[in-house]
Amino acid sequence: MNPEAIEVIKVPDGRPIKLWTEGVPIEDAARLQLINTARLPFIFRHLAVMPDVHLGKGSTIGSVIPTRGAIIPAAVGVDIGCGMIATRTTLKASDLPDSLHPLRSAIEQAIPHGRTVGRGKRDEGSWQNPPERVSALWAELLPGFTRIVEKYPHLRDTNNHKHLGTLGTGNHFIEVCLDEADHVWFMLHSGSRGVGNAIGSTFIALAQADMRQHLANLPDRDLAYIEEGSVHFDDYLEAVGWAQNYARRNRTAMMDSLIAVARKVITRPFTVNVEAVNCHHNYVQKETHFGSEIFVTRKGALSARKGELGIIPGSMGARSYIVRGLGNEESFCSCSHGAGRTMSRNEARRRFTVADQERATAHVECRKDREVIDEIPMAYKDIDAVMHAQRSLVEVVHTLRQVVCVKG
């Protein structure tokens, strides 16, 4: 280990891998995935691996992939622009009602979440009739979407307008939290919903089709890439940029809904945006590092430039952190996006019970049933170990603890 506690894996016929994983477990399959990615010919300098690293689809979640001349659509993934938004309020813990169940119930009614599928049934995770403010946001997104569907008409029939301002499923959540000074924060996690999934899936398939004759030479077909100058490259950049913009506005719309419903339930008047953060952790963008203009794909990682604020959530029932970037260039100015899973969702369902979930979330007003066992805190890495491993990447500004959690 060097003084900064970075592990370095030297990859024959590839770029080095630098891991900020001191004291945090990383499975062998994830290491192999990282090595496969590091051997791609367009990787720039080295891969940077965050302490929440775990196995992903094609590329490892918790990795920063710098590239020159190509992008891997599956590394960006299908939840394009997934990320976090948080805002501190002027409320204190003592201003919250004694029972938090009415607040959770009101949030669940105000913001579509989850998913239902069935003939003749409306998906409960979408709007039946989007509110006027959501339609106004969609009107701003529509010109870009129209340009995309002119080339890819099948994307018109996706969940787009009706998913804007909705949460989704899985590890997406809405929380009311308290910081170390008992200030109330609102925080949520979501991305580009159905339309982002469709865009990501479209270009993953196109990359694989374009590379059909080369797929046999790739260690994983989900490492298929689109080269700069090829027919689909500029289209992908336009579409992924639009989806990232959609994701950011999706979070903003939900935060507006969350604030509005909280004003109805909490009797004390309050203001927000005392401190506010809105950040992606599944995305690609052009950046300059080590004097070169490159593409940086953060697959489960945050930008952590010097002074930049970010959000690192813990698991359901664990602490979360508002952080400030230290601008560590070796990590391409990045940090982790959360705690990181230690097991699959199916394994968590096999291993744990509702009683385990109840004990682990006793201090949180949240669902405690079989449908959320896969999100139990024990299915995730220790967030404190993750934070210690990246002490050269970020500094903690606020430590948050959940008191209300709504799961997708």
Q: Which residues are catalytic?
A: 337
Which runs of E-coded beta strand occur in 304-356? 309-312, 320-325, 334-336
Q: Can you spell out the DSSP letters for 93-136?
A: GGGS-S--HHHHHHHHHHS--S----TTPPPTTS-SS--HHHHH
Task: For residue 8, give every residue at least 6 positions away whose Cβ sits within 8 Å of its Cβ, in sequence order, or none.
Answer: 2, 16, 17, 18, 19
> How many whole angstroms separate alpha carbon 406 and alpha carbon 147?
35
The owner of tokens 């697959």 is: 299
Q: Are residues 400 and 185 in contact, defined by beta-carbon separation less than 8 angstroms?
A: yes
Angle between helix 193-210 and 233-265 (nearest 10): 160
CA distances from 290 to 37, 46, 188, 353 (A): 20, 11, 34, 49
> How many whole angstroms separate alpha carbon 259 and alpha carbon 269?
11
